[in-house]
Chain A
Amino acid sequence: MHRDNHSWLIRLRASGAPRDAALADLRADVLRGLRGALSRRSLPDPAFLEDVAQEALLKILERLDQFECRSRFVTWAIAIAVRVAMSELRRRRWRDVSLDALVADGDLRAERVTRASTEPAASCDRHTLLDALHDVMRVDLTEKQRHALVAELKGMPQEEIARHLGSNRNAVYKLTHDARKRLKRGLERAGYHASDVRDAFTD
């Protein structure tokens, strides 16, 4: 084990003054990393990063036994803090967006209308593929999978999709992963393989 990692773990698992000093050091490192990484972003308020660091410290301590020393301890800790920060920024940005409004009419056939007159030569293959994709989405995906996938394509974060569905980020990832697998198989069944799909959208 890296000596620095070993030292962090011992200090954070201690009690009293050594632990308090370790927490203060870790908080300073987390804040320094976050400030540098997010310096160009518009943050909600001056206390935002302080609040994130505080929440991140709690999560880091909860997960201390999961640290496998595959990296420097501070890198691992900052990765957790970054997730806390970005999750909160996304939540604030998307909290007033309705999932229902976002996914209403996620219709791939609309592309045919908007593109048909501009690219007559290439558009035929694309339109056939898009029709097939639309059919597979309609037939092979559950409504929940379709909504989650369309919302994701429109930029809604998985945490926000999860909030609307009463779920969590990992479960939404699994939901959309299963949806992508179904789409892939559905297209293959319709005669489209990965290379056909890529080629149809290469200008």
Chain B
Amino acid sequence: MTSYVSATEAERREMLAAIGVGSIDDLFADIPAQLRLGRALALDAGLSEQEVYDELRALAARNVSAEDEVTFLGAGMYDSYVPALVDSIISRSEFLTPYTPYQPEISQGGLQAMFEYQTAISELTGLPVSNASVYEGPSAVAAAGYVAKLENGRRRFIVSRGVHPHARETLATLAKGYGMETEEAPLRDGRTELPPLDDSVSAIILQQPNFLGVVEEVAPLAAAAREAGALTICSCDPIPLALLKPPGECGVDVAVGEGQTLGNRLDFGGPSFGFFAVTQSLLRRIPGRIAGETTDVEGRRGFVLTLQTREQHIRRERATSNICTSQALNALAGVIYLSWLGRRGLVELAELMLQRTAYARERLAAVEGVELLVDQPVVREFAVRLGAPVESVIARCREEGINPGYPLGRDYPELDDCLLVAITERRTRADIDRLADALAAAVATERERLAVRA
């Protein structure tokens, strides 16, 4: 067992003498006896490093990861390729181990990296102001709702059914706390259909591309919101923003999204980062940390956390959010990744995904018993309708080493015969062909099995 402690017995005696007490127990004398645990914690004894390693490896071996199967699972997090330089840089002690940069003079590395990250997000979203990151995608949507409420004091959100189910649920949980009603806008033919808006609507909330992978026409929706005096919040998948008209050019006020696909691992769902960008007029409402450029007493360029009066440690109960942290290390991975992709590379990556997705759609649409759910533009994800029970088809594909996608019925009862298929740059043509073949075989076998039964 280790506790990473240095203090030897002799040193402990010295320190106790300096304090003026006889034993370590004396330091806890103010804890009433009846509150003391009085026994050891009911936990196993500590192990050596190699034993802990072996246990963690054994646990890892009982997980089927993207290393072990060809996966087409997406729905918010993607099996993207993380280049080696990201791991190398973020494992440096100077980035991995420091605290939040509250002493800017010795935190210029982290602060400048935040500034560079904020710039990249601003470029992606087409909005001038980005913060230094928030926890992840769905809670960013809920935080954006809080901003809208603080901004216009109205009582309702209209949320598209195309927004990620986890984001809609998180918004519902938090909105109940800060006292807002939510109403759903349905999807028609795969795209959001807004109901008429009145002055009780604080914000409309969209996703681009939406959960079914469909590219929405954001500008007219945002225009309708603006006309009603409501804000437009849009949750975006960052890679497609290489090609799609950015939210800032569509009249969106707040652009948020899940950043995992930018240089971060799947990690069974976290940690990752959420990005959060707003229009200039919302600068003082944006939650979370922001790095700003300034100069020092000798005129040198430097960076500091700025506009801290928005935050909890100063404004306390009137803060724009209770958030105390960002996801600094994950956002750093994000900006390194975006720098590695570069201006041309991001576009090439997105175009590659676009082409492979088009190919996948074509191949799957040609499979007997598989049809495209909607005929709308997509970028890297799309839904298909299966002519056989989805969960059984998935099980059969798995036996072939393929995870064909996410069963939409888990969140959309009306789509319980549908599968959501994601294409990342790691899915080659050969992988897609295997998917098509596996689906074909699985659907056929399932249909046969049901026909025999009937």
A, B assembled together: no
Residues on B lying within 8 angstroms of A by beta carbon are none
